Amino acid sequence: MSGARVWLLCALGPLALLAAATTPPNILLVLADDLGFGDLGSYGHPASATPNLDKMAAGGLRFTDFYASCPLCSPSRAALLTGRYQTRSGIYPGVFYPGSRGGLPLSEVTIAEVLKARGYATAMVGKWHLGLGANGSFLPIHQGFDHFLGVPYSHDQGPCQNLTCFPPDTKCFGTCDQGVVPVPLLQNQSILQQPLAFPQLVPLYNKFSRDFIADCARQDRPFFLYYASHHTHYPQFGSQEYVGQSLRGPFGDALMEFDGSVGLLLQALQENGLEGNTLVFFTADNGPETMRMSRGGSSGLLKCGKGTTYEGGMREPAVAYWPGRISPGVTHEMASTLDVLPTLAALAKVPLPTVPLDGYDLSPLLFGGGKSPRQMMFYYPPSPSELLGVFAVRYGKHKAHFFTQGHLYGKYSEM
């Protein structure tokens, strides 16, 4: 190498480092559905085959005290995307149904909208469950996402008893919701399938996600991909590759497919040279539906599950993974889905929404081994009321229960 070329590289070195420091990171947010604190191998389950999630847990920061904002789908997802308790955005009581008129208010500012201000490409795959609205007015493409491939609500909110959940022809377990239209698969606002072809669903999601990542890499554009899996919500389903592969039956097969998707996403980052500049954050929306026994997941050593404000309903597995930036380890610091938006805004160097937020920037915890700014967590039930207020509060290592009654699945109010 010539002396002039060496000099040029040395001279450009600081500039290259500066460019890398000012380049906003890619964000891959992976959300499981109804996954329990004790369902993963890295969280102690003896029979779960989750090698990709376990790899993330071993190579990233694994949380032991990470909380969803609510033990139920729609309110929890609203809080994740806005950094605000669902009682602020009005996403209560209960969940959205196919016939619900409302949705996440368009005045609420989502993670996608925050990051678009920094030039991010944004996409969402999977379960939305924050409202459909007239003419699709509450769908993700109206909430900051450039692209959407997925289901507008939960995949059990339509008849499923005659549908194939596992190939070649294993019908879905149970009947799901009756008296409504079959659940559709949407691309942006257009219907691609109705009813869903369950064995084809995750392969479609994976291809869409990998293509999105590759396109952003070619354009040298930062991206935010929100991958909201249907797994492991009832009824479980899966593609041919995972049928009968798990020691945990259909639940385990679905969990393996979810883990396989995580592996393909990580592979896509590597193939496109993006692993070193991408934060991958994984967690779940609420605890397992323990009343379904082997088809409902495990809270591990925690009490109860979905629909309750006991720990099993709201404490979730969570991993922050960023090779070279986040040191491997385990943290017992308190954190929440509410903290995701402020943390991502800080990483992207964009201002926060000008509304009251309930989340904190976790950067000191993620990158410096510092303390979490979160010291308190409020536990709202699925259907909160002004009369009863919160059901429990955690402050530091102590938790006070004011009400301990659970909530029967199927009795949630409709919004």
Q: How many residues does the chain have?
A: 415
Reduced to 3 states (helix: H, G, I; strand: E, B; else coil), residue 308 is: coil
Structural tokens at position 239? 């593609």
d(Cα 79, Cα 81) in Å, to the nearest integer? 6
Location of structure tokens 């955690």: 394
What is residue 41's predicted lDDT score, i.e. its pLDDT?
96
What is residue 408's predicted lDDT score, i.e. its pLDDT?
46
Structural tokens at position 138? 């509450």
Structural tokens at position 126? 């999977």
DSSP 310-350: SHHHHEEEEEEE-TTTS--EEEEEEEEGGGHHHHHHHHHT-
H/E stretch holding 126: strand 121-127
Asked whether residue 211 carries a pLDDT value surpassing 70, the answer given is yes
Beta bridge partners of 376: 395
Distances (CA, A) of 316 to 35, 70, 85, 201, 302: 8, 11, 17, 25, 10
**Average pLDDT for 225-232:** 98
Catalytic residue (choose from 45, 129, 155, 233): 129
The C-alpha angle 99, 341, 66, rounded to 5 degrees, equals 90
Asked whether residue 167 carries a pLDDT value surpassing 60, the answer given is yes
Asked whether residue 216 carries a pLDDT value surpassing 80, the answer given is yes
d(Cα 138, Cα 60) in Å, to the nearest integer? 34
- pLDDT-derived band at 407, boundaries 50, 70, 90: low
Asked whether residue 18 carries a pLDDT value surpassing 70, the answer given is no
- pLDDT-derived band at 415, boundaries 50, 70, 90: low
Tens of pLDDT, residue by residue over 314-365, are: 999 999 999 999 999 999 999 999 999 999 999 999 999 999 999 999 999 9
What is residue 367's predicted lDDT score, i.e. its pLDDT?
96
DSSP letter, residue 140: G
Catalytic residue (choose from 70, 73, 172, 176): 73
Tens of pLDDT, residue by residue over 36-55, are: 999 999 999 999 999 999 99
What is residue 9's predicted lDDT score, i.e. its pLDDT?
38
- pLDDT-derived band at 175, boundaries 50, 70, 90: confident
Asked whether residue 87 carries a pLDDT value surpassing 70, the answer given is yes
What is residue 406's predicted lDDT score, i.e. its pLDDT?
62
Asked whether residue 409 carries a pLDDT value surpassing 70, the answer given is no
Asked whether residue 105 carries a pLDDT value surpassing 90, the answer given is yes
Asked whether residue 412 carries a pLDDT value surpassing 60, the answer given is no
Contact 205, 261 (CB under 8 A): yes
Question: Helix, strand, coil % (nearest 5) of the chain?
Answer: 35, 20, 45
DSSP 260-277: HHHHHHHHHHHHTT-GGG
Confirm whether 172 is a catalytic residue. Answer: no
d(Cα 24, Cα 347) in Å, to the nearest integer? 7
Tens of pLDDT, residue by residue over 137-158, are: 999 999 999 999 999 999 999 9
Location of structure tokens 């934060």: 279
Structural tokens at position 190? 């257009």
What is residue 12's predicted lDDT score, i.e. its pLDDT?
46
Confirm whether 230 is a catalytic residue. Answer: no
Which of 13, 18, 42, 21 has the alpha carbon at shortest distance from 276?
21
Which of 173, 91, 48 has the alpha carbon at shortest distance from 413?
91
**14-23, 102-111, 289-298: lowest mean pLDDT where?**
14-23
What is residue 107's predicted lDDT score, i.e. its pLDDT?
97
Asked whether residue 228 carries a pLDDT value surpassing 50, the answer given is yes
Sorted by sequence, the CB contacts under 8 Å of residue 51 that are 6+ apart come out as 41, 259, 263
**Average pLDDT for 88-94:** 95
Which of 154, 132, 151, 150 has the alpha carbon at shortest distance from 142?
132
Produce one character per residue of 93-114: b if its CB has 16 or more CB atoms within 10 Å, e if not: bbbbbbebeebbeeebbbbbbb
Asked whether residue 120 carries a pLDDT value surpassing 50, the answer given is yes
Which percentage of the chain shows pLDDT scores above 70? 92
Tens of pLDDT, residue by residue over 286-317, are: 999 999 999 999 999 999 999 999 999 999 99
d(Cα 378, Cα 80) in Å, to the nearest integer? 15
- pLDDT-derived band at 240, boundaries 50, 70, 90: very high
**Average pLDDT for 227-249:** 97
Task: Please report the sign of the dihedral spanned by the C-alpha atoms of residue 54, residue 261, residue 151, residue 138.
Answer: positive
d(Cα 164, Cα 267) in Å, to the nearest integer? 29
Structural tokens at position 184? 């559709």
CB atoms within 10 A of CB 59: 16
DSSP 347-373: HHT-PPPSS-------HHHHHH----S
Q: 73 φ, ψ to 5°?
A: -60, -70
What is residue 174's predicted lDDT score, i.e. its pLDDT?
86
d(Cα 217, Cα 237) in Å, to the nearest integer? 32
Structural tokens at position 12? 């450009």
What is residue 386's predicted lDDT score, i.e. its pLDDT?
87
Residue type, 377: M
- pLDDT-derived band at 369, boundaries 50, 70, 90: confident
Structural tokens at position 69? 């904002």
Contact 186, 165 (CB under 8 A): no
If you average pLDDT over every residue of the chain, what do you get?
Answer: 93
CA torsion 157→82→359→62, rounded to 10°? Answer: 50
